[in-house]
Amino acid sequence: MKRLLSIIVSFTILGIIYWKIDFPRLIQVFQNSNLSWMLISLGMVIPLTMLTAWRLQQLIPIGKRLGFFEANRLILAASVLNMILPSKMGDIAKAYFMKERGHLSGSLSLSLVIFEKTCDLLSLLLWCVFGLIFYSQNDWLFWIMNASVTLGLVTGVLLLASRQFAELFFDIIRVILPKRTHPKLEKFRSSWGQMHNYFWHDKVHLLQIAVTSIFIWFLHLLQIWFFILALNAWTPFLASLALSPLAILAGLLPLTFAGIGTRDAALIMFYQPYFNAPTAAALGLLCTSRYFVPAIAGLPFLGQYLSTIQTIQANKKSLRF
């Protein structure tokens, strides 16, 4: 029911957007697009998926083995599940897959996935802060967003860097959240602690994963800038480094299906100084393709994980690792 509601909200927002901008103008933007840049930008999905799979391999402890092809299958299968399961459960399912196939224990596999997604979020925030430093916009809204993103980045880094800060953070969250969520919170706290113990014993390995994550997200944001070029529009790259992460963060709000609608509206608002609403709406569709193309590519591998999906759906309130 919750998933159905999010789909309704997404398509309602899109319907309003397309009605406001006049849908034929959106079609015209794609008709006038640059085919070469379009192929280059869409084609970046391939190296991005492969690089993310390589990073997943590097996360696996020495002595355990995860093949490159298997890592790619896990990434693509998780992309499919993120489209059909609520709350990014595809990423949790990826941990479950690694456990079921004997790569890792359940708690460690969950810890690795938590660390992987934390690195992704912090890398996105880092590039956003970097872009906002050079973004010459004195609007009060951007000052608030700049402060919020910076606070999120600092908090995330402290959570990774300090076990004491993490314990204090979880204690505060425990007071705020209702009691029914406490068992899940404790499981998450335990996984976070195990992740701390695993990664901080080898700081060189930790640095390698962090640098790789930052580079991966640079390529993600570069892809979005290439989308702009494909639509025969223009935005300075440093400005796009500030604006596109803000739109991605808007898409992470748990209101819509795969961020569709909220991300599109954010792109129209943030890129308003550089191009018109139909172009921004077209950019929104291309940004959505970043999630749909890997999901489509992952469909052939989904059958291998059907039994795991059924287990996850049966235990979605409390996965037993």
Query: pLDDT tens digits for 119-142?
Result: 999 999 999 999 988 887 667 777
d(CA 18, CA 27): 11
Chain Cα centroid distance, residue 188: 19
307 within domain boundaries: yes
Q: Tokens for 110?
A: 């969950």
**Cα–Cα dist 57/188, whole Å:** 23
Tokens of 256: 């819509």
Cα separation of 263 and 249, whole Å? 8
User: And the tokens for 47?
Assistant: 């190296």
Q: Which residues in 143-163 are b (16+ Cβ under 10 Å) and which e? A: eebbeebeebbeebeebbeee
Residue 39 forms part of a structural domain: no
Within a domain: 134: yes
Does residue 261 sit in helix, strand or coil?
coil
Per-residue pLDDT in tens (0 to 9) along the chain, 321 residues = 666 788 888 889 888 998 888 889 999 999 999 999 999 999 999 999 999 999 988 888 766 777 888 889 889 888 888 777 665 666 777 777 777 665 566 667 777 888 888 899 999 999 999 998 888 766 777 788 888 999 999 999 998 888 889 889 988 988 888 888 888 888 888 888 888 887 787 788 888 999 999 999 999 999 999 999 999 999 999 999 999 999 999 888 777 777 888 999 999 999 999 999 999 999 999 999 999 999 899 888 777 666 655 655 555 544 444
Residues of the domain holding 134: 2-18+46-314
CB-based contact 121:153 (threshold 8 Å): no
pLDDT at 31: 94
- Structural tokens at position 214: 């930052």
What does the pLDDT read at residue 320?
44
Residue 26 lies in a domain: no
Whether 273 and 279 have beta carbons less than 8 Å apart is answered as no
Does residue 247 form part of some domain?
yes
CA distance 135 to 154: 20
Predicted confidence at residue 113, as pLDDT, reads: 84
The confidence score (pLDDT) of residue 145 equals 83
Segments in the chain forming alpha helices (H): 2-21, 23-31, 35-43, 45-59, 68-84, 89-100, 106-134, 140-161, 163-176, 182-199, 203-230, 237-251, 262-270, 277-302, 306-314
What's the confidence (pLDDT) of residue 321?
42
In a domain, 24, yes or no: no
Domain count, the chain: 1
CB of 28 closer than 8 Å to CB of 279: no
| Residue 66 belongs to a domain | yes
List C-alpha distances in Å: 317 to 30, 191, 310, 320: 42, 17, 13, 10
- Domain membership of residue 125 (yes or no) is yes
Report the pLDDT value the prediction gives residue 124, as an integer from 0 to 100.
95
